Structure 1
Amino acid sequence: MHTPRHRPSHARPWPALAAATALALALSACGGTADGGGSSADGGPGTPGGTYTVALTEPNHLTPGQTTDSYAIQVIQGLFDTPVTLDPKDGHVLPLAAASVESTDQKVWTVKLRPDGVFHNGEKVTAQSFADAWNAAAYGPNGWESNYYFAQIQGYADLNPDEGRQPGADKLSGLEVVDDTTLKVTLSSPFSQFPMMLAFTAFAPLPKAAFTDPKAFDAHPIGNGPFQMDGDWVHDQKIALKKSPSYAGGRKPMADGVTFKIFTSKDTAFTELQAGNVDIMTTVPAARAPEAKRAFGDRYSVRPSGTMDYLGLPLWDPRFKDPDLRRALSMAIDRPGVTQAIYNGVFKPADSIVAPMIPGHRDGACGEACAYDPARAKALFDEAGGFSGPLELYFSNSDPTYEQWMTAVANQLKQNLGIQDVTFKKMASADLGPVLNKRQGTGPYRQNWVIDYPSMQNYLDGLYNPDNRMGWSNPQFDALVARGNAAEDGKDGLAAYQQAEDLALREMPLIPLWNWQDQSAWSDKVGHVLIDPYVTGLHLDQVTVRH
């Protein structure tokens, strides 16, 4: 389940790769010194050594392939190096565990690994370490959250047969371990975005210990990244990391360690930040924006974001089958009013499925379906036959604003459409994800999406894939996304993605609500706080500590 991550304000488009052009990534240090955050209060960046703390919501897992939760990803990216990462300035691909990623046809890719990679237990990182991790995530019966990220690889269908059938294999036929440092990946069709996808934490390698005792590994993962676990994960309290002495990659940490303090409420976390009991908070509640700006000054930042909120609809419930009724629900929601009243105008009303910072975004793509029009909404609602029975709204308890905006939406649906019996289903984020993933919800739900890489494809495939939470399917949509994936020319790819978006907006199984603007704040104890919008989020290795 995706939850918020952050982006800098200076992201620019990532060009689609030409089919006949190899992508060669030179081996170099990554992470850089881009100023996505700030420095310590006295203007100095801090010095090497020391430890710091970060506020966090309880993750659901710490094994890379088992989670798509960004609270988990924030920790995992410090513990593991994926093949590549994305530059925090503009999102282009940089090498990490890989020395190069090359293809001449966008279908067959060769991943050459750095020869010096080791796990924190001394085990060598090899091509087999990656193949084992990817196969485990792709194997349907394992039930790992990141499963669909491997759908582009040849043989995925054999590992994920239709319901009631047994898998025909337990390993992806498209993965070939050529030697210790070479992994050959054959996709089912050309896919220009594949190198960017390799930055996602699900593509990290796993050591043998991950498979001998998976439960123990999830509590104390053994990675190949700049930090290693400092004791077991203490659920609902903390996750402590320390600098790894064996790390030879390009993200050598400035600090000796970092402790994630786990909070159930972002308001409580913000109070602890103000009191000096937490050093960094990457997701300051929007309602606390004026207070944060006054209290932290140049140690508070607001940046445009790729994060979006939606209202997902359970289409297996016949009450939601009519697209006109779904559009009526959308037009009955006052997006400008909600974002102003609850988010102090920091968040922006959505006019598209994708965020404005994404290449291919079009202002007003959603048209009148995302415009507040109570009269038209009621007319459409009545024409579609109305709505009977209770309306249950699902959301997590990790941020008080979720209940605030759900309350506002509930009141608007009551007032504008006459739906009177509206109740809430509020639960912990780690509990809500499985309910929605298994399509066990009985009503609309808060759906959040955080970009994994700057591409329309990430939203379209991630939100509307065949296993989507809405239970929506459309062969024409799937064909358009596939056409975009295989396009040799960037413009042709974007055109196909935009046509797919238009179709999804016409059918409206998922109602776009608003685009986040990311807010973070930090104490005067730390410097060089770099936060980006992609998989990395807070660059744990870059943070310096005053001491």
Structure 2
Amino acid sequence: MTLRPIHALIGAALFTSTLLAGPAFAQTLHRGNAGEPQTLDQARTSVNIEAFVLKDLYEGLTIYDPNGKIVPGAAESWQVSDDGTVYTFKIRDAAKWSNGDPVKAEDFVFSMRRIQDPKTAAPYANILYPIKNAEKANKGEVPLDQIGVRAVDDKTLEITLERPTPFFIELLAHQTGLPVHPATVQAQGDNFVRPGVMVSNGAFKLTEQVTNDHITVTKNPEYWDAANVKLNEVIFYPIDDAAAAQRRFQAGEIDMTFDFAADQLDFLKKEFGDQVRVTPKLSTEYYAFDTRTAPFDDVNVRNALSMAIDRDFLSKEIFQGARLPSLSFVPPGIVGYEKPSEPTYASMDQLDREDEALRLLKDAGYGEGGKPLNISIRYNTNTNHERVATAIADMWRTQFGANVTLQNSDVASHYAYLQEGGTFNVARAGWVADYADAENFLALTTTGNKTFNYSKWSNPKYDRLMAASYEEQDPAKRAEILHQAETLILKEQPIVPLLNSASLWLVSNKVSGWGDNAADEHLSKYLSVNR
């Protein structure tokens, strides 16, 4: 995801006026946000700095709690049909919009149709494609009223899916699942996002937005759970300069801030201790082997090259611990999947892995006395990616005497080449979860995934396991199937997991209610400030 750059920072006068505000001071949370939102329209949102604000203003059918667990939101409960294709939601009787209107099932019907309307051009419309006819409607192939959402009555919403989608509840917690107030959108058009115009159903309502300066949201007294919302006000500051955000946190001008500079990690830990939050997020950086070309069609070669990579070195020396070593494709922290699967060599220390790697490579006919090992590493242009590629190239040269070259291109060209099926030896890639489910990672390497299966690996057993995971409705049994799939891909190593990215936050010890979680969800409704 790309954040739009901004160039204005918050003036000291703004902080002074806020800090002198009197009794409300103790109930105001100052949040540093890593950039200026391009939109507060949930249909057009695309980045996390927008989602942080939107999810304070609006509430979907489901939400994340402080620990990253899906819990009821605007819907107090739901039922799923035996075949897993029909979800029936009971909207809370107490759910209201900020203008006092009741939240109705028809509001969600309107909102989901709006997301799929081709005229809306929602960048994340695909998140709701599991809904029957949603994709067809988004492509203009069927009318919007054929999408599988209907209001049974004012407080009962029925959603019909194309096929069983066990992670559908997680999808509804995405910002594209947030409702809009139909009457306001119809009357105001694009202006519905403005302060004083916006009608929202979340814990807060929009009261002020000064571009490149701040966004203020205040407690929504009509919110169904307002009695448990401790904050009167949240002020978001769009500080895209990480160093500036760090200085303002150090000065006590902001209570929490997102995405500080990774090279400051050690310094900040010494100064602020556990106020520095480093949490693995749902993302994996990895290398893909082109399994169509020798010697990368040989599982022994792939495993040997993977085992020779010292991931601890990459984490500590290149990223100062801001990215974490990983041997698993699925990142940790997914509720219900628990600890990801690992390859058999996970329990070995690095020296033993390297010894085993030499044996595997020799068995494949390469290394000392064998055929020469020539490797080209492709990566998208970026200083950190270059440093990782250089380090891994040195490891392969040192361990195997390999002839390793590097090839870089801009990010658009790099991924276009991979997605269009271009041949390569080894290529860098990364994936950030669209939703908190292991399937979002494991589906990348199925035979049928022509776009993201960069390695062009094909394994019928793996495909059968993934197909079975879509049909299995029991969460524990489904998790076991997905673990079997991950174990298989780690045995075959068409991809080489390297690192998990981390969410980097500075959170004052004056803030209560914070929870580290891999989904990186931190609703202000759960937070309070003790000054």
Return the TM-score normalized by structure 1. Answer: 0.71
* Distance in structure 2 (CA, Å) of the matches to 1:320 and 1:211: 59
Q: Does 1:129 align with 2:107?
A: yes
Unaligned runs of 5+ in 2: 4-23, 397-401
* Distance in structure 2 (CA, Å) of the matches to 1:255 and 1:436: 46
Which residue identity does 1:495 align to in structure 2?
E
Return the TM-score normalized by structure 2. Answer: 0.73
**Which of 281, 284, 287 is equivalent to 1:309?**
284
* Distance in structure 1 (CA, Å) of the matches to 2:190 and 2:155: 29
- CA gap 1:468/1:60 in 2 versus in 1, 3 angstroms: farther
Q: Does 1:457 align with 2:439?
A: yes
**Partner in structure 1 of residue 528 of structure 2:** 544
- Residue 466 of structure 1: how far off its partner (Å): 4.9
* Distance in structure 2 (CA, Å) of the matches to 1:545 and 1:223: 24
- Residue 345 of structure 1: how far off its partner (Å): 4.2
Q: Does 1:530 align with 2:514?
A: yes
* Distance in structure 1 (CA, Å) of the matches to 2:110 and 2:366: 50
Cα RMSD (Å): 4.6
Q: Does 1:496 align with 2:475?
A: no
Superposed counterparts of 1:424-503, under 5 Å: 425=410, 447-450=430-433, 452-453=435-436, 455-461=437-443, 466=449, 469=452, 480-502=465-487
**Partner in structure 1 of residue 233 of structure 2:** 257
Structure number with larger C-alpha Rg: 2
- Whether the aligned pair in 2 keeps the contact of 1:240 and 1:257 (CA below 8 Å) is yes
Q: Does 1:175 align with 2:149?
A: yes
Superposed counterparts of 1:167-316, under 5 Å: 167-208=141-182, 209-210=184-185, 215-217=190-192, 222-232=199-209, 234-235=211-212, 237-249=213-225, 252-303=228-279, 305-311=280-286
**Partner in structure 2 of residue 409 of structure 1:** 389
Which residue identity does 2:150 align to in structure 1?
E
- CA gap 1:513/1:273 in 2 versus in 1, 3 angstroms: same
Q: Does 1:150 align with 2:128?
A: yes
- CA gap 1:491/1:256 in 2 versus in 1, 3 angstroms: closer
* Distance in structure 1 (CA, Å) of the matches to 2:390 and 2:188: 45
* Distance in structure 1 (CA, Å) of the matches to 2:208 and 2:141: 37
Q: Does 1:393 align with 2:380?
A: yes
* Distance in structure 2 (CA, Å) of the matches to 1:60 and 1:435: 25
- Whether the aligned pair in 1 keeps the contact of 2:68 and 2:521 (CA below 8 Å) is no
- Residue 110 of structure 1: how far off its partner (Å): 0.7
- Residue 522 of structure 1: how far off its partner (Å): 2.8
Which residue identity does 1:449 align to in structure 2?
V
- Residue 337 of structure 1: how far off its partner (Å): 0.9
Deviation string for 1:368-388 (max 9, x for gaps)?
9x9886977898999999567
- Residue 175 of structure 1: how far off its partner (Å): 1.3
* Distance in structure 2 (CA, Å) of the matches to 1:60 and 1:292: 30
- Whether the aligned pair in 1 keeps the contact of 2:105 and 2:156 (CA below 8 Å) is yes
* Distance in structure 1 (CA, Å) of the matches to 2:288 and 2:193: 32
* Distance in structure 2 (CA, Å) of the matches to 1:268 and 1:433: 33
Q: Could you tell me the percent identity over the aligned residues? A: 21
- CA gap 1:148/1:170 in 2 versus in 1, 3 angstroms: same
* Distance in structure 1 (CA, Å) of the matches to 2:143 and 2:488: 35
Unaligned runs of 5+ in 1: 4-45, 396-402, 427-431
Deviation string for 1:221-240 (max 9, x for gaps)?
643111222334625x5433
Structure with the larger RCO, 1 or 2 (CA within 8 Å, 6+ apart): 1
Alignment coverage as a number of residue pairs:
481
- Whether the aligned pair in 2 keeps the contact of 1:54 and 1:258 (CA below 8 Å) is no
Deviation string for 1:82-115 (max 9, x for gaps)?
1122343472x43221121112413221111123
